[in-house]
Structure 1
Amino acid sequence: MIDNTRGILAMSASVVVFIFNDALIKLAAESVPAVQAIGVRGLFATLWCALALLATGAWRHIAWAAHPRIVLRGVLEAGAAIVYLVALFHIPFAIATAVNLATPLILTVLAVLILGEDVRWRRWLAVIAGFVGVLLVIQPHPGDLNAWTWVALVGTVIGAFRDVIARFLPVGVPTLVVSFTTALIVAVVGCGWAVVEGWQPMGGRAVGFIAASSLLLAAGYQFLVLALRSGGEVSVMGAFRYASILWALGIGYVVWGEVPDALAMAGIAVIVGSGLYILHRERVRR
């Protein structure tokens, strides 16, 4: 029987650091173009990963950074971020978030089609219920849907393939090398795009937010790759991405004073219930 505990813990940790990273980059993007902020964040994240490689001795395996599958994963990471960001410029944040949080559903489908996982009807219902809970929290308006919504979906699908590819990375490559390659490719693509659009000067406050965000991003890369290489079922671990909406609500309340309404609170209950049910089924199966 597959034990998903390690993967669930790593995935849950990645959700926490990624959502705080998003909050910091959103604050930075108030005064810096978003693509430029992503590129600079990638530069900082590359630096942190490089320092970690030197500190742990994993730099001896840096030749793995040129492995085609590792490079492909980095390209997919950059592509998912940029495509989703472009769509975000043209559609409401609630719609974009709802599309992005379809990732667990997409991962479940890919887990069946590509990884051959056996997903029973109870887990399908739990994953779908979690997505319904997300919609209750976000409450997107159908009238806001347009062609850019499909672009956001493309970015989300690219991100799901990025996660699945982590299962096919060479066994001997250290996770730090994968994180370093990913951060470097995101930095090159983001900064390159920003230079083409026109580089903008950045204040100390924005640089501080971006630097702090990059630390969380580097940690998030580590947790995510650890989760996906843990041997656990992707369809199970992916469902715990829904927890990001709970953290997002908490940050929104503390930082921007956003208070969820009764429908959103019901959605939170559904999301939590979905996650607890999946954990319960894991215990029953074991």
Structure 2
Amino acid sequence: MTKSSENSRGALLMMGAMCAYTVNDAFMKLATTNFPLFQAIMIRGFGAVLCLALMCRFMGQFRFDFRASDWALIALRTLCEVTGTYFFLTALLHMPIANISAILQALPLTVALGAALLFREPLGWRRLAAIAIGFVGVVLIIQPGGADFNSYSIYALITVLCVTVRDLAVRRMSHDVPPVFVALITAIGTTLLGCVGTAFTDMQPITGDAGRYIACATLFLSVGYILSVSAMRVGEIGFVAPFRYTSLLVALILGVLLFDEWPNLITILGASIVVATGLFTLYREKQIKQPIAPQSRRQR
């Protein structure tokens, strides 16, 4: 298989993963309208854990012989994922799905900035300027002081912080740590969050629409896990990663069709700025990691 065909396959897998994750979010938003949030997280989590456990078994990724530092990073990643899940789903219940999805598109920017601050990864003035402009886009999306601004916009920003730390933890893991096994541990942690929360809330019988919505959310979340893992194994990451922005387009469409949520022009402008600067950051990262050709070295 040629590199171009691998890149195309990886891009399609990433687009499919982002579509699946976003549809999962929409079903969770529908399910938890009149159904306890923690109970929904718990039920969905059991399905995701089963799916990932089967994947680990099939791919031979059930391993426990990691270094203590890797286990610490796995624990940190799981903690961030659990915390981020709570804040994300809580914000999702009270915000338009397109708005919170747009805020999450700042992740390439925050991860690049965090890697520069914590790991001393190179960050030139171009990417630094792109990050600053991208944060302006985030401010336009949340619109502090506007009619649509509330505390749940802060929840969305906390989600970005949690996911940023989560992704930075992954960067420090050894390459021999199986990705599906890490996802399984994370899913177990998120399921435990639902179990603990359910213990302190009143449970409801799973009937009617709520049951169907949670079942669909579990299915799409599992598909998202499978496709995202597959996408990272096919093609060049620099080519495949930008297709994560598919989730924003899907969120806009689902917001209009399912929830009658029409983003205003300022939100669309902010989202466009965030996506554009994120794409530029990914492009610059790819350019920096490319080896310098011998001819270019001689010219220098």
Q: 2:206 aligns with which of 202, 207, 224?
A: 202
**Cross-structure match for 2:193:** 189
Question: CA 1:280/1:181 → structure 2, altered by over 3 Å: closer, same or farther?
Answer: closer
Q: 1:31 aligns with which of 26, 29, 34?
A: 34
Query: Aligned partners of 2:273 and 2:120: how far apart in 1?
Result: 28
Question: CA 1:114/1:47 → structure 2, altered by over 3 Å: closer, same or farther?
Answer: same
1:60-116 superposed Cα distances (whole Å, 9 cap, x missing partner): x2666x933323322221122224445667x75588666655434322221101232
- Give RMSD over aligned pairs: 4.0
Contact 1:76 1:159 in 2 (8 A): yes
Structure 2 counterparts to residues 111-126 of structure 1, below 5 A: 111-126=115-130
Query: Aligned partners of 2:113 and 2:40: how far apart in 1?
Result: 33
Contact 1:45 1:214 in 2 (8 A): yes
1:213-266 superposed Cα distances (whole Å, 9 cap, x missing partner): 2233334446279759x9968xx95x7765533321121123234444544554
Cα deviation, residue 183, structure 1: 0.7
Question: CA 1:169/1:216 → structure 2, altered by over 3 Å: closer, same or farther?
Answer: farther
Question: CA 1:207/1:18 → structure 2, altered by over 3 Å: closer, same or farther?
Answer: same
Structure 2 counterparts to residues 94-243 of structure 1, below 5 A: 100-133=104-137, 136=140, 138=141, 140-143=143-146, 150=154, 152-221=156-225, 223=228, 243=246
Query: Aligned partners of 2:126 and 2:177: how far apart in 1?
Result: 35
What amino acid is aligned across from residue 191 of structure 2 in structure 1? A
Contact 1:15 1:244 in 2 (8 A): yes
Normalised by the length of structure 1, the TM-score is 0.74
Query: Aligned partners of 1:272 and 1:147: how far apart in 2?
Result: 24
Contact 1:179 1:218 in 2 (8 A): no
Question: CA 1:220/1:123 → structure 2, altered by over 3 Å: closer, same or farther?
Answer: farther
Structure 2 portions without partners, runs of 5+: 1-6, 291-300
Q: 1:255 aligns with which of 246, 253, 258?
A: 258
Q: 1:53 aligns with which of 44, 53, 56?
A: 56
Give the match's secondary structure for 1:202.
coil
**Cross-structure match for 2:43:** 40
Question: CA 1:240/1:171 → structure 2, altered by over 3 Å: closer, same or farther?
Answer: same
Question: CA 1:226/1:182 → structure 2, altered by over 3 Å: closer, same or farther?
Answer: farther
Q: 2:23 aligns with which of 20, 23, 32?
A: 20
Contact 1:62 1:177 in 2 (8 A): no
**Which of structures 1 and 2 has the bigger CA Rg?**
2
Question: CA 1:58/1:37 → structure 2, altered by over 3 Å: closer, same or farther?
Answer: same
Higher mean C-alpha displacement, 122-131 vs 104-113? 122-131
Cα deviation, residue 193, structure 1: 0.6
Question: CA 1:231/1:255 → structure 2, altered by over 3 Å: closer, same or farther?
Answer: same
Higher mean C-alpha displacement, 157-166 vs 268-277? 268-277
Structure 1 portions without partners, runs of 5+: none
Question: CA 1:225/1:35 → structure 2, altered by over 3 Å: closer, same or farther?
Answer: farther
Cα deviation, residue 282, structure 1: 6.0
Query: Aligned partners of 2:117 and 2:230: how far apart in 1?
Result: 21
Contact 2:42 2:192 in 1 (8 A): yes
Contact 1:21 1:214 in 2 (8 A): yes
Normalised by the length of structure 2, the TM-score is 0.71
